[in-house]
Amino acid sequence: MLIGTGVIWGTIGIATKYLFRESDLDAVSVSWLRAAIAGLICIALGWRALGGRLFAITKRDFAIMALLGVILIVYQFFYAAALERIGISATTLISLCGAPVLVVIASNVFLHVRLSRRGGMALVGSLIGTVMLVGWQSGGTGETRDTVIGVALSVASAAGVATHVFVSRLIAGRHHFTRPLAIGFPAGALFFAPVAFGHGVSLDLSGTAWALILYLAIGPSTIAYLMYQRGLQDVTATDASIVTLLEPLVTAILAAFLFDERLGLLGWLGALLLVGSIAVLTLSPNSDDSRYAAPLLATGEPIS
């Protein structure tokens, strides 16, 4: 599930690049439209799976899921805003590589979940591989002020990703995997609506632009996040954050074929290291991690 999530997320940059070519939408408008449409779809899926029990949860968990939705759309916005200032290389390195490290720290501090030897090898290998993979790309503007702001936005995005992974993992064992998204996406869309409309979001789009918006809402948002939530029920937060580093690999490969952006030797070596690290994490026996993952599921409340 998580490998599939990383692969689907890897198409976001490609679809968004085409969308910017086909419309006048900015990053704020695209993020909001994705969340709004995905929210409606997730409510429908959640209602089909759970019926009237969809919202039959404690106020505390409802608030957590709503907050997760807000965090999700905000860190997506931070990521897009950072891209405009420091380029895709630096933004990807800080945001996507920083998140697993923050998850490891949070898991150790708050849950006393020790990183296994195999997990540590996968973490180091995947981070180095991602650095090599995105290092072939050009940077941003180079202006000091833009660089400082861009780095700050990237760090904020990494913190948002890590928080979303960590908190989602905590509640994953207590609820059906459709519920957090049926609550989270609409909450995020409502929270971000004033910002989107303040930017003058327009619904007067071409057929191609609408097709791309629908793809982003259905694929990377609805389907990928449903797979993500389901995968979190059986995998630790640290492992989940490492596996989803497949996203920049898929993006780079698609960009090479669609936009003639060649990886080069360093990029391909990084890709191999990244894939190999994730293979070590996912294909090796996980008995050394089972005793750490189990306590996270022992919530005393059945999945409903």
- Note the pLDDT of residue 290: 39
Report yes or no: 167 and 68 within 8 Å, Cβ to Cβ: yes
Is residue 105 a part of any domain in this protein?
yes
**Any domain includes 219:** yes
Give the pLDDT of residue 81.
Answer: 77
Angle, alpha carbons 257-139-9 (nearest 5°): 45
Is residue 296 in a domain? no
d(CA 202, CA 29) in angstroms, rounded, equals 8
Total structural domains in the chain?
1
List the chain pLDDT tens, one digit each, 304 residues: 888 998 898 888 788 878 888 888 887 888 899 999 999 999 999 999 999 899 999 999 999 999 999 998 988 888 877 776 766 656 666 677 666 666 766 666 666 666 667 667 766 776 777 677 665 544 444 456 677 787 788 788 888 888 888 888 878 778 899 999 999 999 999 999 998 888 888 888 999 999 999 999 999 999 999 998 888 888 877 777 777 777 777 777 777 777 666 656 776 777 677 667 766 655 554 444 433 333 333 333 334 4
Give the whole-angstrom CA distance, residue 139 versus residue 83: 9
Report the predicted TM-score, pTM, of the whole model to 2 decimal places.
Answer: 0.74
Whether residue 162 is contained in a domain is answered as yes
Q: Which range of residues forms the domain containing residue 207? A: 2-291
Residue 304 lies in a domain: no
302 part of a folded domain: no
Whether residue 155 lies inside any domain: the answer is: yes
Q: What is the largest CA-CA distance in the chain?
A: 55
Q: Is 254 inside a domain boundary? A: yes
